[in-house]
Structure 1
Amino acid sequence: MSTGLLACVALLGALAGLAAPRAARHFTAPLAPRVAGTAPNAPRVAGTAPNAVRDAGPTPRVVGATPGAVRVAGAVPSAGWGAAAGAVAFAGLAAALGADPVLPVLLVLAAVGLVLALVDLACLRLPDPLVGAAALVAAVGLTGVAAAAGSPGRLLGAVAGAALCFACHVVLAVLPGSRLGFGDVKLAAVLGLPLGWLGGSSLALGLLLPHLLHGVLVLVLLVAGRVRRDTPLPLGPALLTGAWLAALAA
């Protein structure tokens, strides 16, 4: 791919990244915790501050929160970070795949992936509408490329990749003490479609790299004292980054 065309693709990625934080805020769930023992819509006592909590005993426990865990609501990174990530993601795919007909499909998936990563970073969620949109892009796009190229075998490889990624992550999700959510499982299955299309080596890397990246990140944060062992951390960005790196190695 020529330098000029590569620059155009990078610019397109930067524009997608600029739009990603705004799109992510539409899917960011508020994390306002409810205090144990209080009714969801309990009336406020006259004369108290709107958000005051009267406590005559121990510190109230937050329902549904892991002990010691801290979750920040709405912490979607700025548009500048999104633009940089989009430019790098798009340029990397374009440089690795060149004129491969599957490139447009992967670029659209990367754009949806940027939004998914931002939402997961902000509120530890991978919304079904976004994961479903990524699945639709992958399924329709890869089917179209297979039909145009006359290569149904690669489409079968994509389906096999999705099935393998789904099965492996279901096993990880049901292990005792696992913190893998089924949003992560569904996203892994979607990412298995393009990874299976690209081949066995890409699929193997796409299965291994996300957990390696996530493990290294957790270790660094633990050593730096930024998190505790029971602090929930998003896996979605690692799944997406690992799949992107695996695509670059195709």
Structure 2
Amino acid sequence: MPTAVLVGVALLGGLVGLVVPSLARRFATPPARPRPVRGAWVLLGPTVAASVFAGLVVAVGDDPALPVFLAIAAVGLVLARVDLLCLRLPDPLVLAAGVSALGGLTGAALLSGTPGRLVGALGGAAVAGAAHVLLALLPGSRLGFGDVKLAAVLGAPLGWQGRDALLAGLLLPHLLHGGLVLGLLAARRVRRDTLLPLGPALLAGAWLGVVLG
């Protein structure tokens, strides 16, 4: 991947990171009030978004599905922010990511003449969705069906990348979330009955699955 492309996509990610907070406030329920951001936090969002985009460029390369991965990542950054604000994954945003995944990957499969990868993407979505439905139905589960729907959407790009990426993308979110919960409990920042958002871990785990898979 040419350095100029990598830098350009990273800069695009940084621009996305700048608008994520304002977009997230529009979808937060109840509406979130703007908060002043100072110091290093001003750079955190754009830096994270730029890193996400750059990682996808390196992992996906010149695959025609790269724009699809970037579009899902952009929506995912907003979803993560909303979930952190109000413990919700709004259906319109999840639907936007799902439409991007289905339509974009279908187009990429046609352009590249690789219909088998589209089958893998659809299979990944089905496996990820079914696995999280089962988790949501377990006694005492705190997994919401917004999480289930997001997991199914993320299963499509993971399935496009292959079995290893899909397995990593299914396991890593729960390892990340579990580690975070244990750390917060140990630090006495939360209680056992405190509800914590899973969406950011699902998105981070899926990104790692693509990058590492």
Same-fold status (TM-score > 0.5): yes
Output one character per residue of 1:208-248: Cα deviation in whole Å (capped at 9) or x when no partner: 00000000000111111111110000000000000000000
Task: Determine helix, strand or coil for the equivalent of 1:26.
Answer: helix
- Check whether the contact 1:19–1:79 (CA below 8 A) recurs between aligned residues: no
- 1:127-138 equivalences in 2 (<5 Å): 127-138=90-101
| Alignment match, 1:97 | 60
Output one character per residue of 1:83-119: Cα deviation in whole Å (capped at 9) or x when no partner: 1111010011111222111111101110000000000
Distance in 2, matches of 1:166 and 1:2, equals: 36
| Alignment match, 1:81 | 44
- Check whether the contact 1:75–1:122 (CA below 8 A) recurs between aligned residues: no
Alignment RMSD: 1.5
Q: When the two structures are aligned, how many residues end up with a matched partner?
A: 209
Q: Does 1:109 align with 2:72?
A: yes
Distance in 1, matches of 2:141 and 2:164, equals: 27
The residue identity in structure 2 corresponding to 1:24 is A
The residue identity in structure 2 corresponding to 1:115 is V
- 1:132-147 equivalences in 2 (<5 Å): 132-147=95-110
Output one character per residue of 1:48-104: Cα deviation in whole Å (capped at 9) or x when no partner: xxxxxxxxxxxxxxxxxxxxxxxxx66888663321111010011111222111111
Structure 1 or 2, whichever has the larger Rg, is 1
| Alignment match, 1:62 | none
Q: CA deviation at 1:5?
A: 1.8
TM-score norm. by structure 2 comes to 0.94
5+ unaligned residues in a row in structure 2: which ranges?
none
- Check whether the contact 1:74–1:122 (CA below 8 A) recurs between aligned residues: no
| Alignment match, 2:17 | 17
| Aligned CA distance change for structure 1 residues 210 and 146 (closer, same or farther; 3 Å) | same
Q: CA deviation at 1:4?
A: 2.2
| Alignment match, 1:193 | 156
1:213 pairs with one of 176, 180, 187: 176
Distance in 1, matches of 2:34 and 2:148, equals: 24
Distance in 2, matches of 1:233 and 1:113, equals: 17
Percent sequence identity over aligned pairs = 63
Q: Which has the higher helix share?
A: 2
- 1:1-250 equivalences in 2 (<5 Å): 1-30=1-30, 80-250=43-213
- Check whether the contact 1:17–1:87 (CA below 8 A) recurs between aligned residues: yes
Distance in 1, matches of 2:3 and 2:153, equals: 31
Distance in 2, matches of 1:249 and 1:96, equals: 8
Distance in 2, matches of 1:96 and 1:80, equals: 24
5+ unaligned residues in a row in structure 1: which ranges?
32-72
Distance in 1, matches of 2:34 and 2:132, equals: 27
Q: CA deviation at 1:249?
A: 1.8
Distance in 1, matches of 2:186 and 2:130, equals: 32
| Aligned CA distance change for structure 1 residues 75 and 182 (closer, same or farther; 3 Å) | farther
